[in-house]
Amino acid sequence: MTGVKKGDVFGLGDKVYLEKSHHINENTVEKTMVQWQGERRSPRKGEWYISGAIPVAYLAPNDFSTPYLIGVLVKARFTTTVSCRRNDDKQTMAD
């Protein structure tokens, strides 16, 4: 997988494990995701592995013989920051 770095997080592909996002406050959301910690090998039954053209995480139903990126389940927090600035320009926003 091109561009994947140690520490990247991925959504869950197994629908049985999907859970709704939990809003901490108006700007922060917590989600269960899988984080890659740099390991690439054949997953064993019950381990999370990352796969796909648009990478997502799956729980291995049995031992695999093909190597994948191995991940761990984490709670990821996402915070939205909104900043505003005054537009002193004479141009309109559409220009």
d(CA 7, CA 34): 10
d(CA 80, CA 34): 21
Task: Measure Cα distances from 71 to 6, 25, 54 in Å.
Answer: 10, 28, 16
Tens digit of pLDDT for each residue in 13-35?
876 566 667 777 878 888 889 99
The domain segmentation of the chain, as residue ranges, is 9-79
pTM reported for the whole predicted model: 0.73
Task: Read off the pLDDT band of 64 (50, 70, 90).
Answer: very high
The pLDDT value recorded for residue 91 is 59
